[in-house]
Copies of this chain bind each other. A is one copy, B any other.
Amino acid sequence: MCGVCTMSRLGVAILGATGMVGQIYVQMLSKHPWFEIRAVTGNSTVGKTLREAYRGRGHVPEKYADMEVLPSDPSKIDADLVFSCLPTKSAREVEPKFAAAGFPVVSDSSAHRYLPDVPLIIPEVNPEHLDLIDAQKRRRGWDGFIVTTPNCTTVGFATPLKPLADDFGLRYVNVVTMQAVSGAGYNGVPSMAILGNIIPYIEGEEAKVSEEPRKILGRLVDGEVQPMDIPIDATCMRVPTIVGHLESVQVELGRDASVEEVVDSLAGFIGLPQKLELPTAPRRPINVLTDEERPQPRLDADAGEVPGMVISVGRVRKGRKPGTVMFVTLSHNLIRGAAGGAILTAELLYALRRLD
């Protein structure tokens, strides 16, 4: 039972719990008021304890240190809800098995993100897309379902785009990203490649980053998402930072707006998670900084009452091209951009009685 709300705790499983995002899930869920970890799965670490699986790479809360890593097999798992941070390829195979076996799956993998009947959710931005679940279950004959969260890079600028779209309209977006090495997984970026260096390309990333906000900001029409019809350009770079994706964003608005109007739009934005006071929701999803030297990955990635859940926006200014606004945005790629975003999505599902 949850002491605060008299609801009984939900048991959750984490698929792919031994990677870097998995570690964040375990940390965040080890003190969650509604969810309780019942099972963790892995691949090469099956049979080890979490302590052994994280050896040399990170910390594990004592409470779960001796939990055994299981294979990602629905028949072996007892849980009310499944979080998936599996690599794309195994997510493509495993997640549908869990959905078919009746599990609600909240996944930060890209495997099913782009399917028309799979919601791609930023809880503050498009909670109404969760209505796709019914069509998805019907169409696929599943007892469970899959809900996805966006790429760790998308969330940092798609979230501020929401109030701008609502208040001023959008015509064009150009984003240049400087992404932390943790975004590629523990072994993803060799130190020889990135120490004192920048790699001006991340395979497959720009297509994701250009398309996902169009789906997220799209409208539900006849049980499908009709993407927002504006072009988005993206240049994605890897930089020698540990956590926090920094992004330089240029937006052509639907109408001219002053810096004050834009700041008010961003800073004042709240969504359904704030109205429902979900446990992992920050009071305000966007924090607008006025210090010109901010946001900085090392200082600001952890911002917010729930560290890492706030998106920090700075340097809001008008472009020299009429009708454009420029800003810099930073979000924690492992928390808001992965585990935290998925947990908040699950809280939303729970609060909306989608897990009953």
Interface residues of A (CB under 8 A from B): 20, 55-59, 172, 174, 176, 178, 181-182, 186-201, 210, 231-233, 235, 237, 239-242, 246, 248, 250, 291-299, 314-315, 319-321, 324, 326, 328
Contacts and interface: CB of A to CB of B under 8 A. Distances in A.
Contact of A321 (B172, B248, B299, B320): B172
14 contacts: A57-B193, A172-B321, A181-B191, A181-B195, A187-B190, A195-B241, A196-B297, A197-B299, A198-B297, A200-B315, A201-B292, A231-B319, A233-B324, A235-B315
A182, A239, A294: most-surrounded residue (chain B CB, <10 A): A239
A181 B239 CA distance: 14
A296 B233 contact: no
Contacts of A55: 291
B319 A233 contact: yes
Could you say how many copies of this chain the assembly holds? Answer: 4
A193 B250 CA distance: 25
Contacts of A298: 195-197, 242
A190 B58 CA distance: 14
B293 A56 contact: yes
A258 B296 CA distance: 37
B314 A200 contact: yes
A320 B233 CA distance: 6
A235, A314, A315: most-surrounded residue (chain B CB, <10 A): A235
